[in-house]
Amino acid sequence: METREPAIRIAGLQKSYQDLQVLKGVDLTVDGGSIFALLGSNGAGKTTIVRILATLLKSDGGTAVVNGFDVAAEPASVRESISLTGQFAAVDEILSGRENLIMIAKLRRVGNPAGVADDLLRRFSLTDAGGRRVATYSGGMRRRLDIAMSLIGDPPVVFLDEPTTGLDPEARLEVWQEIQKLAGGGTTIFLTTQYLDEAEKLADRIAILHQGTIIVSGTLAELRQLLPPAKVEYVERQPTLEEIFLAIVGKEKQP
């Protein structure tokens, strides 16, 4: 069986803000072409990890490698290998949706910017709104446009930091489908999310960040093994990822 080189490798990653130590030695590996979900409570350090991996923030210790490049020693090569969509849509409200996409395509020196823009508008169900100013878009439409912009140039590694925040259920499903298509085509997806059902639906592997370290990591099936076997009453029900998360984090909070 063919094995892929890990797309992301982190060892002993540390980061503090003044006296607050947010990351206390994070270790994780993300396989190429997979969807990796990082879970954690608000303030756990998920966005800090993403910002370090995207070269937007320097760590205090440890190492991080993205697409074969060290984030500290080769930041320019890392930036050429990635795309990042944060928690807030980074779109220009004065321009139309199509103009936003064309602008990014030109900045990234992609061939046929107009064709790329039209294809992404279609994929994200924004064709009818493509000619309208983004100021008229709903929050969900802005989020979908923001994610579409992040895919221009086909980066091998895509960071999605809580990408479906504020989306309605139908729009979330559309984004999920695009994420799955990307991974199916070989793109590595590093996903942080506050929606546990999102990780349960999409992720090949899941890690839980708690109190500055990764406390568990594995497939959903492996995480389920950490809880007692399902009780058989009328129907055997497997625990949800939400139940696993709360059980594990709750244990860690015990003195």
Label residue 136 by pLDDT band (50, 70, 90).
very high
In a domain, 57, yes or no: yes
Backbone φ and ψ for 44, nearest 5 degrees, come out as -70, -20
Label residue 255 by pLDDT band (50, 70, 90).
very low
Structural domain of 71: 6-253
88 vs 150: which has the higher pLDDT:
150
Backbone φ and ψ for 70, nearest 5 degrees, come out as -75, 130
CB 182 within 8 A of CB 189: yes
In a domain, 107, yes or no: yes
Backbone φ and ψ for 23, nearest 5 degrees, come out as -115, 125
Label residue 140 by pLDDT band (50, 70, 90).
confident
Starting at the edge strand found earlier in the chain, the sheet holding 69-70 runs 20-31, 6-17, 61-66, 69-70
In a domain, 215, yes or no: yes
Domain CATH number, residue 219: 3.40.50.300
Q: Which residue carries 């020196």 as its tokens?
A: 109
Measured CA to CA, the distance from residue 110 to residue 89 in angstroms comes to: 22
Question: What's the whole-number mean pLDDT along residues 191-201?
Answer: 88
In a domain, 1, yes or no: no
Measured CA to CA, the distance from residue 205 to residue 28 in angstroms comes to: 11
Q: Which residue carries 């979908």 as its tokens?
A: 144
In a domain, 112, yes or no: yes
Nearest alpha-carbon partner for 238 in 223, 253, 248: 223
Round the average pLDDT of the chain to a whole number and report it.
87
pLDDT digits (tens, 9 = 90+) for 40-93: 888 788 999 999 999 999 999 999 999 999 999 999 999 999 999 876 667 889
| Amino acid 30: pLDDT | 95
In a domain, 136, yes or no: yes
In a domain, 243, yes or no: yes
Count the domains in the chain: 1
In a domain, 48, yes or no: yes
Q: Residue 132 is encoded by which pair of tokens? A: 């309208």
Measured CA to CA, the distance from residue 103 to residue 89 in angstroms comes to: 16
CB 171 within 8 A of CB 97: no
pLDDT digits (tens, 9 = 90+) for 88-114: 667 889 999 999 999 999 988 899 999
Nearest alpha-carbon partner for 167 in 152, 146, 184, 150: 146
Label residue 224 by pLDDT band (50, 70, 90).
confident
pLDDT digits (tens, 9 = 90+) for 151-182: 898 899 999 988 887 777 877 887 888 888 88
| Amino acid 123: pLDDT | 87
Contacts of 181 (CB under 8 A, 6+ apart): none
CB 83 within 8 A of CB 151: yes
